A and B are shown apart, each in its own frame.
Chain A
Amino acid sequence: SQQGEEDPQALSIQEGENATMNCSYKTSINNLQWYRQNSGRGLVHLILIRSNEREKHSGRLRVTLDTSKKSSSLLITASRAADTASYFCATDPGGSNYKLTFGKGTLLTVNP
């Protein structure tokens, strides 16, 4: 079963607007990661947030984590057409289980 579930499944916005994607998960985590996948390509790591962190920034990306609600959000500010891609959250449960479990992703389309 999927640990992380992204919402919405698809999002279409205009260039310059902000895009927010959400991820919910079910069990406790050690950290949560966000990845981007352009069409026909492999996944690219964007940002990692640890369970004891609440917010993290990287360029135009802002990630928040609420462990009490078991949810995370990814905000892309001032979106560009090049941001068009699928975005996945991945959870690491920690301990001796090294698996990353990916959600099914949010397909973001940024219209020029």
Chain B
Amino acid sequence: DAGVIQSPRHEVTEMGQEVTLRCKPISGHNSLFWYRQTMMRGLELLIYFNNNVPIDDSGMPEDRFSAKMPNASFSTLKIQPSEPRDSAVYFCASSLHGGGVAEQYFGPGTRLTVT
């Protein structure tokens, strides 16, 4: 298996632009998680899906952030409009069961820089 796939690996954009991050979870996994990692705040859970349904989006910072999972093999995290404080590494992870019941498999991350 190729593992969790994220694209792009790096994104540099200007303030105000729309950013879309993409994730393909491991085939057969039924839970998907989006995290953000910064030096100041560490690793933060933004949202997670179970069987393509958003279960908890309380970590989404504000309305500029949105996430979708139209099918079991694809998810997107969108930031519109982007701001410099959104600069971070965004990780997608998937697991076979739900949440902490099983280990999570992380993608390589997308390093986002907003200037």
A and B associate in one complex: yes
* Residues in A lying within 8 Å of B, measured CB to CB: 2, 30-31, 33, 41-45, 48, 88, 90-94, 97-105
Give every chain A residue within 8 A of B55 (Cβ-Cβ). Answer: 98
* B56 CB-CB contact with A under 8 Å: yes
Across chains A and B, the number of contacting residue pairs, with CB separation under 8 Å, is 63
* B7 CB-CB contact with A under 8 Å: no
Contact sample, A vs B, 7 pairs, CB 8 Å cutoff: A45-B104, A90-B100, A97-B99, A98-B101, A99-B48, A102-B43, A104-B42
How many angstroms between the C-alpha atoms of A22 and B46 in the bound complex? 26
How many angstroms between the C-alpha atoms of A102 and B35 in the bound complex? 10
Q: In angstroms, how far is the closest chain B Cβ from the Cβ of A7?
A: 14
Please tell me if the beta carbons of A42 and B101 are within 8 angstroms of each other in the complex: no
Give every chain A residue within 8 A of B93 (Cβ-Cβ). Answer: 42-43
* B112 CB-CB contact with A under 8 Å: no
Give every chain A residue within 8 A of B98 (Cβ-Cβ). Answer: 98
User: Interface on chain B toward A: helix, strand, loop, or mixed SS?
Assistant: strand
Please tell me if the beta carbons of B99 and A98 are within 8 angstroms of each other in the complex: yes
Please tell me if the beta carbons of B106 and A44 are within 8 angstroms of each other in the complex: yes
Instruction: Using CB atoms, name the residue of chain B closest to A48.
Output: B103
How many angstroms between the C-alpha atoms of A45 and B91 in the bound complex? 14
For window 49-86 of chain B, which residues contact chain A by CB distance below 8 Å? 50, 55-56
Residue of A31, A88, A104 near B100 (CB, 8 A) is A31
Most chain-B CB neighbours within 10 Å: which of A2, A45, A100, A101?
A100
Contacts A98-B31, A99-B100, A100-B99 known; A43 to B42 CB distance under 8 Å?
no
Please tell me if the beta carbons of B108 and A100 are within 8 angstroms of each other in the complex: no
Q: In angstroms, how far is the closest chain B Cβ from the Cβ of A28?
A: 13
Q: In angstroms, how far is the closest chain B Cβ from the Cβ of A6?
A: 10
How many angstroms between the C-alpha atoms of A99 and B43 in the bound complex? 12
Contacts A104-B42, A105-B42 known; A42 to B103 CB distance under 8 Å?
no
